[in-house]
Structure 1
Amino acid sequence: MKVERLISIMIILLDKERISAQKLADIFEVSLRTIYRDIEAINRIGIPVRSTSGVGGGFEIMPNYKIDSKVFSDVDLSTILMALSSLSTMIRGDELIHTLTKIKSLIPADKAKEIELRTNQFCLDLTSWTGNRERQSYLEMIKIALQEKKLLSFEYAGRYGDKTERTVESYQLILKSNHWYLQGYCLKRNDFRLFRLSRISNLQIQMRFFIPREYQKPQLDFTDILKTMQTKINIRIHKSVMDRVLDHCTYEYFSPDGEEHYIVDFPFIENDYYYNILFSFGDKCECLGPLHIRAEMKRRIHDIVAIYES
């Protein structure tokens, strides 16, 4: 996001005496043109950044300049602190601690309690209740690989449990729908792949470096695609699973059916994933229609029963 990048550039300029446009472009994986536009934007908000040409040239904040506390509003500072604090629950390191310290140093003394109150009004804890014990260490390793442009090797479990050995150029760490993913170029498949961390084992950082290649970031928003694929089915649920059903659709699709049940217009795609969602509600959910979905549910239930009868 541009705002986050501008803040990061300002922090870098405060920390360093001088840095080249190319170095900034490499850090944020954007074009030189984008960096020049960002520097112009920083100048417009009142922070005087000057450029010097030639060997050793680059951008720097004018000597003796200190950021006026008015550059960031109370809401700006509390939002930045909230975002950084939530990230620090998952990815720890000196960089985040230093950044948090610098941001806090911008808070005027007379505003400290008010901004602390605003910050504490929201809690974004990205850690899981139980989760994979390896995840934290894996996140740290991927973070190092991203910063140092080193190859990662690991075993990857496919959809049906088959494992393959992979060597990957790491490009991006993604948190999507409570799951962490690594976006990288797989040397085995000769293409970019999205790897789910929960399927990764024996993760190792290789000593080999790689030269970053151009790539398109993965598509993470499938809202429009899902709308064309999904249909509505009718399910009858007990109120005890209502909160879990609400993870998949909104309350406007619920209609009361007596005192303890609801009829729900449930978004559905005819594949294993969605059938398993219905089964996860156990005997607190009944598919009412369409009839062929109900018949398929019945067939799958018979298959499960057959396993236990044998």
Structure 2
Amino acid sequence: MSQYYRPVARFGEVPTPQSFPLAGGLCWFDTVAVHERGGGVHAIPAGEVPDDVLGNLTCARPPVAGVAMTDPRIMGILNVTPDSFSDGGQFDAPERALDHALAMQNEGADIIDVGGESTRPGAAEVPIAEEIARTAPIIAAIRARSDVPISIDTRKAQVATAALEAGATLINDVAAFTFDPKLADVAAKAKVPVCLMHAKGTPETMQNDPSYEDVLLDVYDFLSSRVDAVVASGVPRDQVVVDPGIGFGKTLEHNLSLLRGIAMFHGLGCPILLGASRKRFIGTIGGGKDASDRVSGSVAIALFAARRGVQILRVHDIFATKQALDLEWAIGGAAMT
């Protein structure tokens, strides 16, 4: 029976003598929840975890696109699209997009994630030429004004190539390099880090009654196989980021299960990215019909994830998220010294 190991992460307390650091950061664990398919969950001391798994759970993650992974980092969302679920049409004009990117950097974004194709539920595929026209010029404009790391949010090799030529430094693919087989080769040849996200189906179909045997374990297995695939293509494992894909082919309960179990993904030995900002389930639970009304709930999820060692938080609201993280780390980090 397959076993999966989820560290019970703690933060803001003095570590116990039996504890281990989580992914080389300030979070730690001395207990691990063992999940078994069809066999429930039980807890064991961290010292009883197999050595190879324990190594993945504890080892420090190298920098990604020049950004240290020792503390939570903020990825600012820049959708240069007319139809994204939260900010569609707000930044599709080049001047507004550039201003917003620079403003996000000033507010504390460590990475700017530029996307030219909406992947909201029901969104249609954008032609390659149009996606390049939306993204490459704004990436070049940002690069001319700033050395901030830039991520290109795309499923397509040609779009990624144009973005890298314009100055992007990371490829973020919601399809985990399954949509366009050539994308992994682009990343390997360019020697740039990648982010692999889980999604069930395509944006057009992903919310049509998604189902799983066990969403946490199924997503873990998918990401594990995709990490192995891109590593086989020549991308170094320590330059692979994983994202469980909140809201991409998931119900509200699926999203909650993934958030509760997010620390399990440290077992892949890669940094974790979480993109839950302003998503619909936040409004369903906490209120907020409009996406802009879900800032507080988004910050709450960001703090929850940071306390479980998640390294990259992909968000719309930079200042609010950074302020909360700075306070949490000032209080909790000091408590651990």
TM superposition score normalised by structure 2: 0.25
Q: Quick check: which one's helix share is greater? A: 1
Q: Quick check: which one's strand share is greater? A: 1
TM superposition score normalised by structure 1: 0.27
Which structure has the larger Rg? 1
